[in-house]
Structure 1
Amino acid sequence: MRLEALRLRVGSAALDVLLVAAAWWAAFWLRFNLDVPEEFSALMVQTLAVPVLAFALALAGAGVYRHIWRYTSLAELQRLVAGVAAGALFTAVAVLMLRVPNFPRSVLLLHPLLVLLALGGVRALSRLLAERRAPRVPGTGVPALLLGSVAEAAQALRTLKDSARVVPVGIVSPQREEVGRALQGVRVLGTLDGLPQAVQQAGARVALVLAAPGSAWRREALLAAAEHGLSLLTPPRADDWLQGEGAGPRAVALEDLLGRAPVQLDVAGLSEMLAGRTVLVTGAGGSIGSELCRQIARFGVARLVCVDVSEYAVYRLEQDLRAAHPQLEGVYYTANVRELQRLRAIAQAHRPAVVFHAAAYKHVPLMETHNEIEALRTNVRGTLNAAQVAGEVGAARFVLVSTDKAVNPTNVMGASKRLAELAVQAVAAQHPATRFVAVRFGNVLGSSGSVVPLFTEQIARGGPVTVTHPEIVRYFMTIPEAAQLVLQAALMGQSGQIFVLDMGEPVKIVELARMLIRLSGKTEQDVPIVYTGLRPGEKLYEELLADCETTAPTPHPKLRVARAVPPAAALLAALAWIDEAGPAPDALALRCWLQAQVPEYQPRRG
């Protein structure tokens, strides 16, 4: 194989040398209007070795012969131009230093142009012939409309050239001035307003949406294409390449419709914080906890200690991490954060440098009736236990995963998470060597107990899709985005700070339901939406900051710091009430006590 590659390189270099020599002769020929005088013919022969040697060295030095001609692209041509320019410079310097008498200097200008034309031409011809000889299976791809600008379509057409999955049959552009133009034989058929006509004209069955994530036009294009019965595809994410999931177009997911832009991480800083260290994650089997574990594993931690009360969740996490990161030293515990001594024993055995506390009860209606004390025991007592243990073992950082429902809470779950934030700030004062931070964010797409899995099940059954109120809105982000921003906040945070994530624009839940119905290939006539009324403790909208708080920007565009009133000095002593309340405290008494600790908590009546 190496011998064959060497033969190809030598053959390419020999052909280039012949072309350089031919161009030298052609430059003289053109200089003298196709009739070279005899004395200059001799001069041409005498100096021929100079350009041949100069260009051979320059082209080899530019790495031109590492390329395969049949795959020649703009990058290879740029390298060729650099080699030709260097060869021309070497030739001119050599000729001038040799002081060849009566040498026509215009030849030094004509020659590199002819060399570039000849060498570039044979490479382009080689690629053309290779593509003509390549076997093609007609009719195997699905006709697809490309939704995006001409620039975006140009990149996609290069990727799709050898694709058997889709065949581009037209472009729908956001720019009206591009309509009527063509790119590699594919015409711009119109703008989004004319999508129905473009679909009919091209016979398209698939829409490949190319617009950048986060753009309003992308979301509009996705919804319009779904409305007209087109199957939806989008280019692969960067993670798809890294995880070996293929580089072809992928099916559109709900997060594409919500238009969340990718998170920019401080990879160097996170590597310094995590690489070679022991990290402990509570609630590791949950939606956020398991994604945190996956993200942390990428940074080469020495040991990842995973704690969750669910045996099945721990088992699934262990299987996933073993398959994705076989080199990772993972330690898996079934343990409850409400049991201080068990948590302390785990932490003392491993001495984690960083602790992420994601264990929590989060279902609002379930925690609102019959289970109020469970919310306090897990969300408050469990958080207090984890924070105290982290301080005792000398962890450098402790991060509480909190929620937007902790702001001006109207339900027990939200009030318990706000009280957990206050507890962490109180513990921070006792352990100055550990940085204690909390991170608030809204709803996470696809997390356990969220509306997306519920809506998906309801759509699969044929409906109806149940929405509590036509005006109810929520903030949403993806599970990977939430986990990545939690990591970023852990890196940036100072002790006692509460970070607020940029959740973007709030989304109406009814619009979310409509998006999912369209993504399933159905309409609201097929799957109706019904309104059931607000549930106990539920608000029409969520807030990310309490009324008494302000925020300060951070170096990261998606993170801000909330400045809040510090907790009362007696807070930790007051939390003893949770242990003393017994197995079934009076619901009204519990709410009165909770309101005394969290004054902004206003239970929703009715």
Structure 2
Amino acid sequence: MAYRTRLATFILMDSVIVSVAIFIAAWIAYPYETVIDTRALIISAIALLVFHHVFATLYHLYNKVWAYASVDELIVIVKAVTLSIIAAALVQFFVSDFTIYKRALLVTWMLHILMIGGSRFIWRVARGHDADKDGNKKRTLIIGAGSAGAMIARQLKTGNNSDLLPVGFIDDEESKQKMQLYNLPILGQTKDIGSIVHKYAIEHIIIAIPSLHHEKMNKIVSVCHQTKVKTQILPKVEDLLEGKVSVTQLKDVEVEDLLGREPVELDIHAIKLLVSGQTVMVTGAGGSIGSELCRQLIKFNPKKIILVGHGEYSIYRIHMELEAICGEMDIDIVPVIGDIKDRKRMFDIMDIYKPIIIYHAAAHKHVPLMEYNPHEAVKNNIIGTKNVAEAAAACGVHTFVLVSSDKAVNPTSIMGATKRIAEMIVQNLSKQSDTVFTAVRFGNVLGSRGSVVPLFKQQINQGGPVTVTDPKMTRYFMTVSEASRLVIQAGTLAKGGEVFVLDMGEPVKVVDLARKLIKLSGYTEEEIPIVYTGIRPGEKLYEELLDEHELLPDEIYEKIYVGRTTEADEQLLTHFIQHFLDYSNEELKDELMKIVYAKNVLVKAH
């Protein structure tokens, strides 16, 4: 009903403007002359009225949201008015003995632009004024007077649904100082945030620079937190570009925003060639990495995605999520409950669904937990990988990608050793099969199950303390979305037998990560203390992505390296798999290390 009322209002308003404007124009253009034929003037007015509504409909003039009008909307008005004037001139030419009153029509054109455009401007101002009248809105400072900041300001000024009232901008560009944007002043630079918050009674801060580098973001967030004012940011650039969110969907600052890197530009064409129209299988599809791999793969329009996992609820949840994402897309999503330790089940799944590409993400990955349960680590990470990989080779899978870990480099833990042996298994199979086998190695994934970030958040929510094993402990971190995209990209680069290594950037001190999370949660270290508990079984102070023998210096793709790797002693590995249940926990670890360090023969990846 509101739409019909608004539509009728605009049509009636334009009709009055168009009908009256030509008579005013005639009086302005010919104030002391009687040369104009009144009959021609009336016919011209009728013609203008008809043609205006025809072209207004053609250009959707009545369907514009004028509260957010810009230059584009003004151009539409100019087009509709110009064409209606030209059409009326033709009518005038034939009803006035081939005469066109050019001055009158020119003035009419100007009046139409002025009055129709002005009516929309008044509408916009009135709506903005209504939005500003709410005294309960929080006084908001916008950091960044660029295009994103401008969009945020316009949305907040004209939208009635927000509880935020923009007061001004912060921007470090000297040329913007003391300027105004959407009638809001640029109040200073980031170094002035503290004083501006106090002077203008700021209650909310929005960081509106989606492409901001994480180092600069750290500095700005640190300054904002010192003010004790709630701080939010725009979504990530990649999410904006992919259409997941809009620029007005603000979110709280997360640790990922402070540790993130510039998004990697993927070779979309190569991925489409590999994935589009194919049957793709993901093991561990309900886990952190596996589920994100599925979300990323959906974008490349595979024919079918096979979700394999042994956890009923996790597979159900990712299945429902992907079904909702796909909507009308013609992608068959098949949830399959199966344990990778069940060799026959893996062969049956391959035989039924005949996947072309497999991303093997199923694994036990918690380092201290696997120290207490080494036999289960062997069953899942070694025997499970062997089952899936050999089933893939037997069923003619084209590409098999093993998701590995930086713990596989010079391993000291059960988990790391089992992942390194899993790499060896797929490398050996690569020599014996037409299937392209490869492995992708990366460090810790922010926010994944069992990682430190969810643990720290839980400890902070419980009032602390936050437990860190050692003040010197460092780890590599990557977001789950970036890790998954690079795994998919690595699959397009594989020729067989490689271990790809993802560039994880600079290692981060775990204690620094804990401090950032405490600050982001609005606390100080006095309120939420950090307690050092000592290194746990199997942990290292420093993780590596390649050892000194494996290092190949050149990237083969942005943030992806390929390393030299050691061959596996197949006889030793076969004997171990046949007898590993006979070993005690201590003996089992010793046997694992014998396999990992049995040879030091370097084999250069293709």
What TM-score does the superposition give when structure 2 sets the normalisation length?
0.81
Deviation at 1:477, TM superposition (A): 1.9
Structure 1 residues 211-240: Cα deviation after superposition (integer angstroms, max 9, x where no partner): 214524333222221233222222356869
The Cα of 1:365 is off from its aligned counterpart by 4.2
**Cα deviation 1:432-489 (Å, max 9, x = unaligned):** 2x33332222210122222212322333344333334444432222223322332343
Name 2:209's counterpart in structure 1. Answer: 211
Give the letter aligned to residue 347 of structure 2.
R
Judged with a 3 Å threshold, the aligned counterparts in structure 2 of structure 1 residues 353 and 191 are, in CA distance, closer, same or farther, namely same
- Residue 22 of structure 1 and its aligned partner are, at CA, apart by 4.2
State the distance in 2 between where 1:599 and 1:205 align. 63
* More moved, 165-174 vs 217-226: 165-174
Judged with a 3 Å threshold, the aligned counterparts in structure 2 of structure 1 residues 261 and 43 are, in CA distance, closer, same or farther, namely farther
Tell me if structure 1 keeps the 8 A contact 2:572–2:595: no
User: For the residues of structure 2 that align with 1:8 and 1:411, how far apart are their CA atoms?
Assistant: 69
Q: Residue 80 of structure 1: CA displacement?
A: 1.8
How much does 1:350 deviate?
2.8
Q: Which residue pairs with 2:364 in the alignment?
A: 361
Output the amino acid matched with 1:123: R
Paired with 1:257 and 1:89, the residues of 2 have a C-alpha distance of 58
2:176 aligned residue: 178
Which residue of structure 2 lines up, in the alignment, with residue 159 of structure 1?
Answer: 155
- State the one-letter code of the partner of 1:124: F
- CA change 1:426–1:324 in 2 (3 A) is closer
Tell me the secondary structure at the aligned position of residue 204 of structure 1: coil
Q: Tell me by how many angstroms 1:595 deviates.
A: 0.4
Answer yes or no: is the 8 Å Cα contact 1:145–1:170 preserved in 2: yes
Q: Structure 1 residues 545 and 202 mapped into 2: Cα distance closer, same or farther (>3 Å)?
A: farther
What aligned pairs does 1:47-196 form with structure 2 within 5 A after superposition? 48=44, 55-67=52-64, 69=66, 72-87=69-84, 110-130=107-127, 137-139=134-136, 141-149=137-145, 151-160=147-156, 161-184=159-182, 186-196=184-194
Deviates more, 1:193-202 or 1:169-178: 169-178
Q: Which amino acid in the other structure matches residue 367 of structure 2?
A: V
Task: Specify whether residues 165 and 494 from structure 1 end up closer, same or farther in structure 2 by C-alpha distance, changes over 3 A only.
Answer: farther
Report Cα offsets for 1:488-526 as digits up to 9, x if no partner.
Answer: 433554444443334344333222111100112111122
127-136 or 57-66, which deviates more: 127-136
Equivalent pair of 1:277/1:303 in contact (CA under 8 Å) = yes
Tell me the residue number matched to 2:522.
Answer: 521
Q: Deviations over 1:18-56 (max 9, x none)?
A: 534544445555555xx2422256697388367556555
- Shift of residue 106, structure 1, vs aligned partner: 5.6
Q: Does the 8 Å contact 1:415/1:598 carry over to 2?
A: no
CA–CA separation in structure 2 for the residues paired with 1:214 and 1:502: 20
SS at match of 2:355: coil
Change (3 A) 1:394 1:36: farther
> Who is 2:510 aligned against?
509
CA distance in 1, matches of 2:348, 2:247: 44
Match of 1:562 in 2: 562
Picking from 419, 422, 434, the partner of 1:420 is: 422
Secondary structure in 2 aligned to 1:439? Answer: strand
Matches within 5 A, 1:321-400: 321-322=319-320, 325=323, 329-335=333-339, 337-367=340-370, 369=371, 374-400=376-402
Q: Judging changes above 3 Å, is the alpha-carbon distance between structure 1 residues 269 and 78 closer, same or farther for their aligned structure 2 residues?
A: farther
Distance 2:211 2:245 in 1: 21
Instruction: Provide closer, same or farther for how the CA distance between residues 307 and 143 of structure 1 changes in structure 2, counting only shifts above 3 A.
Output: same
Equivalent residue of 2:580, what SS?
coil
Query: Residue type of the partner of 2:511?
Result: V
CA shift in 2, pair 1:469/1:130, >3 Å: closer
Distance in structure 1 (CA, Å) of the matches to 2:59 and 2:305 = 47
The answer on whether the counterparts of 1:418 and 1:598 sit within 8 Å (CA) in structure 2 is no
Match for 1:77: what amino acid?
Answer: L
* Structure 2 segments unaligned to the other structure (5+ residues): none
Distance 1:560 1:67 in 2: 47
Deviation at 1:548, TM superposition (A): 3.7
Could you say if the C-alpha distance between residues 430 and 305 of structure 1 is closer, same or farther in structure 2, counting changes exceeding 3 Å? Answer: same
CA–CA distance in 1 between the matches of 2:534 and 2:578?
A: 36
Tell me which amino acid in the other structure corresponds to 2:152.
A
Q: Which residue of 1 aligns with 2:289?
A: 288
RMSD: 4.1
Q: Distance in 2 between matches of 1:473 and 1:86?
A: 68
Provide the rounded CA distance (Å) in 2 between the counterparts of 1:60 and 1:456. 55
CA 1:470–1:89 in structure 2 vs 1: closer, same or farther (change >3 Å)?
farther
1:371 deviates by 5.1
Unaligned runs of 5+ in 1: 601-606
Quick check: 1:443 aligned with 2:444?
Answer: yes
Match of 1:603 in 2: none
Cα separation, partners in 2 of 1:153 and 1:306, compared to 1, 3 Å: closer
The one-letter amino acid of 1:228's match is T
Amino acid at match of 1:564: R
Alpha carbons 2:169, 2:185 under 8 Å: kept: yes
Counterpart CA distance in 2 for 1:242 and 1:314 is 31
**Cα distance change, pair 576–149 in 1 and its aligned pair in 2 (3 A):** same
1:604 paired residue number: none
Q: Give the number of equivalent residue pairs.
A: 586
SS in 2 for 1:596: coil
Partners of 1:552 and 1:91 in 2: how far apart? 69
Distance 2:66 2:594 in 1: 78
CA distance in 2, matches of 1:493, 1:61: 53
Secondary structure class of the residue paired with 1:325 = helix
Q: Distance in 1 between matches of 2:176 and 2:235?
A: 25
| In 2, Cα distance between equivalents of 1:509 and 1:546 | 24
- 2:461 maps to a residue whose letter is A
Amino acid in the other structure paired with 1:348: D
Cα distance in 2 for residues equivalent to 1:521 and 1:178: 31
Aligned partners of 2:363, 2:289: CA distance in 1, in Å?
11
Give distance in 2, aligned partners of 1:396 and 1:82.
56
8 Å CA contact 1:213, 1:260 repeated in 2:
no
Shift of 1:71: 5.7
After superposition, the Cα gap between the structure-2 partners of 1:217 and 1:589, relative to the gap in structure 1 and judged at 3 Å, is closer
| Cross-structure match for 2:223 | 224
Asked if the contact 2:580/2:588 (under 8 Å) is kept, the reply is no
Pair 1:467-2:468 in alignment = yes
Partners in 2 of 1:113 and 1:268 — Cα distance?
51
**In structure 2, do the counterparts of structure 1 residues 577 and 100 end up closer, same or farther at CA, with 3 Å as the change threshold?**
farther
CA spacing shift, 1:465–1:70, aligned 2, 3 Å: closer
What are the superposed Cα offsets for residues 368-395 of structure 1, whole Å, 9 maximum, x if unpaired? x565565454333332321111121122
Alpha carbons 2:569, 2:595 under 8 Å: kept? no
